[in-house]
Amino acid sequence: MGTLRVRKTAAIVALAFAWLILLFLHTWATFAIYFANYHHPLARTLLPIIYVLVLILLVILVRRPTRRLLAVFVVFILVILWWICVQPTGRGDYLPPVAVLAYPEFRGDLVTIHNLRNFDYRTRDDYDIRYEDRTYDLKRLKHVDFLINYWDGKRDTAHTALSFGFDDGQYVAVSVEFVVRKGILMNFSVAYSSSLNFSMSSVTSATWFESALIIRTKRCISIERTVPQ
């Protein structure tokens, strides 16, 4: 009798723990659906609501506890599969510093960076926009530096970049950064940023904050990270 009671208690605890995990997963999934790149703004409101209603219906209609748990988990897997398949737009009314994205062109050992950012900064918000095309010889690559810039002096969060130095004195810095649409305040959390779908090769699929590969001169990134606000 005692053993049976222990087994029932363990089963209840395990089931409760499984539902707690599913609650966390579906909370993430709901935000993922909300922040995806929809063509119509109404979809941002309707689709998360429909998603939650589907989950509620499954919980009500599926009678057996294990099948109910499995059904709810399958819905989460479907969201994951959809999220992986979401394609980046690469289009948007972005703020001036990230409105133009660089792209490389390879010819043997030579790589030409088009739209290389080389701004002249006076303050963080006062600068002259300048993009250039520069060609680098990969055979003349001398060293690679890893740059770290801590956010607001906090040692637990930082912006990083790779700087490539060539023996002819040229430097080019590459980093992955948020590109922000006009009218959006730069006030976001690390937790939010980690929920975005991410792509190294192009702009990713968040609607307000997106990630892109930013290529600039080392001089540009050094001044940008040290000029006064």
> What confidence score (pLDDT) does residue 122 get?
79
Q: Three-class SS of residue 63?
A: coil
Same domain, 220 and 126: yes
Same domain, 40 and 120: no
Tokens, residue 97: 């510093």
Residue 133 located in a structural domain: yes
What is the spatial distance between Cα 220 and Cα 115, in angstroms, rounded to a whole number? Answer: 13
The residues that bridge with 216 in the sheet, in sequence order, are 117, 173
40-88 tens-digit pLDDT: 778 888 999 999 999 999 999 998 888 999 999 999 999 999 888 876 6
Tokens, residue 215: 């290529």
Q: Mean pLDDT score of the chain, rounded to an integer? A: 77
Q: Indicate if the pLDDT at residue 114 is higher than 80.
A: yes
28-32, 109-113, 117-121, 218-222: least confidently modelled range: 218-222
Residue at which a domain ends, from 38, 65, 85: 85
Q: In total, how many domains does the chain have?
A: 2
For range 93-101, the mean pLDDT: 76
Residue at which a domain ends, from 85, 114, 134: 85
Domain with 74, as residue range(s), is: 2-85
**Dihedrals phi, psi of 183, to nearest 5 degrees:** 90, 0
Same domain, 204 and 162: yes
Residue 90 located in a structural domain: no
Q: Three-class SS of residue 101?
A: coil
Residue 208 near residue 184, CB atoms below 8 Å: yes
Same domain, 75 and 6: yes
Confidence bin at 8 (pLDDT 50/70/90): confident
Cα–Cα separations (whole angstroms), residue 218 to 57, 69, 80, 149, 214: 55, 53, 38, 13, 12
Which of 214, 147, 225 lies closest to 180 in space, CA to CA? 214
Residue 91 located in a structural domain: no
